[in-house]
Amino acid sequence: MSFNFVEVAPCRNADPWLFDQSNLDLAQPGLKYCQSCIFWNECESLVDPKTHAYDGIVGGKVWRNGKILAKLDPTSPNRLVVGEDLFDEEATTIRGSELPRDRYGDVFPAGWEGRIYGGESSSEENL
């Protein structure tokens, strides 16, 4: 019997909807599963997001149309790398935005409020 990482991955029992998010402010709950996962490479190989123009979360990264919007820092999975540091491997190992928690305990990248990425803006509404 061969080993199937999907059977032991932290996200195995999670709602699949969590990983269909390509908007950074909606991706945070799905990324929480990736923070403790050791199967980022296997996950990315299985889904092959570049080839399939994938939108969502795969392998600790947020994808839109097969392109990486943000990724968890592999040296510190509590950091989300966005913007200019995204493809700078040296910066990835040194810098990254700490993920502060909102009043509900959800994590958001520092400086995300009001910034525009890929034509979308993030806003906070009082309900």
Categorize the per-residue pLDDT at 78 as very low, low, confident or very high, splitting at 50, 70 and 90. Answer: confident
78: left (phi over 0), alpha (psi -120 to 50) or beta: alpha
**Does the pLDDT value for residue 33 go beyond 60?**
yes
Pick 57 or 24 by higher pLDDT.
Answer: 57
Percent share of the chain, pLDDT over 90: 48
List Cα–Cα distances, 25 to 47, 49, 62, 105, 116, in angstroms: 22, 20, 11, 14, 11
Across 10-19, 38-47, 83-92, least confident range:
83-92
Mean pLDDT of 9-32: 92
Poorest-confidence range of 8-12, 15-19, 42-46, 101-105? Answer: 101-105
Domain ranges of the chain: 15-113
**Residue 113 vs residue 30, higher pLDDT:** 30
pLDDT at 97 over 50: no
